[in-house]
Structure 1
Amino acid sequence: MPNIADAKILIIATDGFEESELFEPRQTLLDRGASVTLASLETKEIQGEKGDQPGRKIKPDLLMEEVDSQDYDALLLPGGTRNPDRLRMEELVVYTVKKFADAGKPVGAICHGPWLLVEADVVRGRTVTSWPSIRTDLRNAGGNVVDKEAVVDGNIVTSRNPGDIPAFTEAFIKLVESVEAPLEAV
């Protein structure tokens, strides 16, 4: 994919997402012309968090049941503690994350978002980073954990925290632009 403006990006989130980790990458992608779709577990607005305080809300574009991974070029997974903790308990979400990763499509996960990569069993043998409290989970899942603002390994980019959003977003965009033709999932 030569230009991010041609990309169709899927974001998966639910209540408890870290506000900046959804809104800032989303806005950058939109500003650069990408098509961005937000999927969630329900159609009602989802509530973000800003640290420990309630953050902005956003209405999902579609339900997870309506997602067809073949319709998208890449997947973005914001963090927050409650958001990925809730999503990793949803079989359809975990299946979708695995389908993107296994198809070679770019997957970006920031902060606690890599919990979903652990649950989808796509961390083994990869170099990754995350929020400090889930690094043991990443190691236990077979990942090589480093402390860097953005880490790209194959088709997966991970990042540590909201302070890393600019580096994370740029690494994600470069990864999306570097993929010529993703493999289709089996």
Structure 2
Amino acid sequence: MKKIAVHLAEGFEEIEAISIIDVLRRANFDVEVISITKSIEVKGAHNIIVKADLLFEEANYQSIDIIVLPGGMPGSENLKAHSGLREQILNFNDSKKPLAAICAAPMVFGGLGLLQNKNATCYPGFEEELHGAIITGNNVEQADNIITGKGAGVAIEFALKIVEFLTNKETANELAQKMIVDVQ
């Protein structure tokens, strides 16, 4: 079973985090919600507190198959500032392991130089943070091992792209159909 690490930072976008976690668990993935703060309880951008499964220091990145970053502000800035997370992202990219970020969070990948000459998307206004990327403006983009999404309104579509990437299009479409989601 694939293990997915969804990372929460103070100020994360709640719709994105919860939608992604929910869809990936419906797809029967082992989803670990990881707090990059000093607390297991993390406050989102709209003051909703979500309880993570474990702290960053407790995570075993050797057993994780994909790193996922919900967006939101200042959550995305907090993700970008976490040196341990940046190190893990670089390790994953070097190994061509999948990475996914939505909304403002693709700025983390952009700041690390991972989007150079790759199609990517983000929340409008954060394009300059995706250094070297080919900004498409599409809801969701996949370029090699990196998936990016535009924002809260496409969080389910973004999560389904992760499902497709880790399994296949048929599995993602079946899940979308069960959830009454119309995704092309």
TM-score scaled by length of structure 1: 0.84
Answering whether residue 52 of structure 2 is matched by residue 80 of structure 1, we say no
Residue 11 of structure 2 aligns with which residue?
A: 16
CA shift, 1:101, in A, is: 2.0
Residue 38 of structure 2 aligns with which residue?
A: 42
Answering whether residue 113 of structure 2 is matched by residue 121 of structure 1, we say yes
Count of residues in correspondence between the two structures: 167
Unmatched 5+ stretches in structure 1: 1-5, 179-186
Answer yes or no: is the 8 Å Cα contact 1:106–1:155 preserved in 2.
yes
Cα distance in 1, alignment partners of residues 102 and 142 from structure 2:
12
CA shift, 1:84, in A, is: 1.3
Identify the structure with bigger relative contact order (alpha carbons < 8 Å, sequence gap 6+).
1
- Paired residue secondary structure (2:43): strand
Question: Which residue identity does 2:120 align to in structure 1?
Answer: V
Residue 165 of structure 1 aligns with which residue?
A: 155
CA shift, 1:147, in A, is: 0.6
Answering whether residue 23 of structure 2 is matched by residue 28 of structure 1, we say yes
- Paired residue secondary structure (1:133): coil
Percent identity between the two aligned chains: 25
Question: Which residue identity does 1:47 align to in structure 2?
Answer: K
Unmatched 5+ stretches in structure 2: 169-184
Cα distance in 1, alignment partners of residues 61 and 138 from structure 2:
29
CA shift, 1:174, in A, is: 1.0
1:141-156 map, 5 Å: 141-156=131-146
User: How far does the alpha carbon of each residue in 1:43-77 deviate from its partner, in whole angstroms, 9 at most, with x for none?
Assistant: 3310113xxx32x3112222222333211111111
TM-score scaled by length of structure 2: 0.85
Answering whether residue 86 of structure 2 is matched by residue 94 of structure 1, we say yes
- RMSD between aligned alpha carbons? 1.4
CA shift, 1:86, in A, is: 1.2
